Amino acid sequence: MQPNGRIPGFVVILNGAPRAGKSSIVAALQARTDAVWINLGVDVFANTVTPPHLRPGIGLRPGGERPDIEVWLPALYAGLYESIAAHARLGFNVVADVGHHEGHSHPYGLLEECVQRLDGMCVLFVGVRCPIETIMIRRNASDGSIYAQGSEAEPVPPAVMRWQEMVHQPGLYDLEIDTSVLTPEASAEAILAALTKPPSSPSAFERLAALAQ
């Protein structure tokens, strides 16, 4: 299927903590040849698009550690979601991995504002969940240069626990996936199946918009 500039594509927002498996689901969707999926999310924006002095940008972890970067978050998220909307309007399917939370030095209402930027589009908001035990296994298997690891004295670092506690607030989703149970390919199939069903009413984004009023 070719983008025709008239029929908007699907938008899938994967929300979850680092190492929950979001990037693997993105890869599984992009590996499909029956549709085109554009990858726009934290991995792309935080590691490539955002200049070094503002990184990790939208990947900033909970805790209010960097108020100097926080002030840029509304604009950075707005740019991300406007990019998502622009690609979808051109007929591309878009998948974005994010970690929305309000664990900053003060709340910004980032998710609610982003919801407005995708108003009227076909959005599937997916909660990507994973038990903390599995999260730590994945973190500890990394080289430690990117993801905080556990130790005997501190099996779960406080920063990791804050992600686990804050990223799924308020927890309104169209679909929830547990990546300790489903493979990336099975997760992608669950997402595609949800997209073929009649949309729920109200959708997760509609409920989030109502919550912000």
Question: Residue 6: what pLDDT?
Answer: 59
- In order, the DSSP letters of 15-37 are E--TTSSHHHHHHHHHT-SSS-E
11-212 belongs to which CATH class? alpha beta
| 182 alpha carbon, distance to own chain's centre | 18
Question: Residue 66: what pLDDT?
Answer: 96
Q: What is the pTM of this model?
A: 0.94
Amino acid occupying residue 72: W
Question: Residue 1: what pLDDT?
Answer: 46
Percentage, residues of the chain above pLDDT 90: 84
SS3 annotation, 33-75: CCCCEEECCHHHHHHHHCCHHHCCHHHCCCCCCCHHHHCCHHH
Question: Residue 5: what pLDDT?
Answer: 52
Question: Residue 199: what pLDDT?
Answer: 77
Domain coordinates of the chain in residue numbers? Answer: 11-212
Closest CA to 113 of 41, 10, 40, 208: 208
Six-digit token string for 17: 């903590």
10-residue stretch averages of pLDDT, the chain, 213 residues long: 68 97 98 95 90 95 96 97 96 97 94 94 97 96 81 90 97 97 98 90 94 83
Distances in Å between the Cα of 141 and the Cα atoms of 145, 147, 154 are: 11, 10, 16
Six-digit token string for 94: 């878009």
Distance CA(138)–CA(61), nearest Å, equals: 18
Q: Which residue has the tokens 């998502």?
A: 84
